[in-house]
Amino acid sequence: RAVDLYPGFGDSYFELAKYYGRKQELKTSLYYLGKAAENEPGSQQVRFAIASVEADLGSRKEESYLPELEKCAKEHGEDGASEFVIALGYVGHKEWDRAKAQCEKILKAEPHFHETGALMAVIEHETGHGEQAVVTLRTYVMNVPFALDARCLLAQYLMEEDGAKHPDALAEAGMNL
């Protein structure tokens, strides 16, 4: 398998995520999406899938998927990929405290799991910590500069900043678009 030969190649994991998704194997599909996010941060297909999964999980009852995802995390030694999809479930349900704790746990163990940083920025923004969200998302964009949707999100967050307190925010927003 490609993931055995090229473990850092995110497209292989993404293809496995799609394959298991078509087979209705949620736990396995989401695990491979987490691996794709870990190995190919910022790619359009991964970012789109993450947003779709957040919305999908948010429309389901937690009991219908969370125990399965927690079991997956245990099976995989609670690695960043399996923990990441649990965080997505929490974000989908707007359980910001649980999502933040989950992201902090991942970033402590794997500080270069960049998609977790992007997710943390969303959590910070949604919980009223706009300035911290800008700092966190700015770090993500510096590490993953080709993530167009993240650059647009950063521009949005910057345009929401207080112009008197952050006079260069609009100029920085323009540079990200």
Q: What is the pLDDT of residues 86-122, one digit of tens each?
A: 998 899 889 999 999 999 999 999 999 999 999 999 9
Element (H, E) at 22: helix 10-22
pLDDT given for residue 66 in this prediction: 87
Pick 7 or 29 by higher pLDDT: 29
What whole-number distance in Å separates Cα of residue 87 and Cα of residue 93?
A: 10
pLDDT score of 124 more than 90: yes
pLDDT given for residue 54 in this prediction: 87
Pick 61 or 5 by higher pLDDT: 61
Task: Return the structure tokens found at 54.
Answer: 């957040």
Alpha-carbon separation of residue 136 from 42, 124, 141 (angstroms): 15, 9, 9
Angle at 146 between CA 158 and CA 41, to 5 degrees: 100
Q: What residue type is 14 in one-letter code?
A: F
Q: What is the mean pLDDT of residues 48-65?
A: 88
pLDDT given for residue 11 in this prediction: 87
Alpha-carbon separation of residue 142 from 8, 66, 145 (angstroms): 20, 32, 5
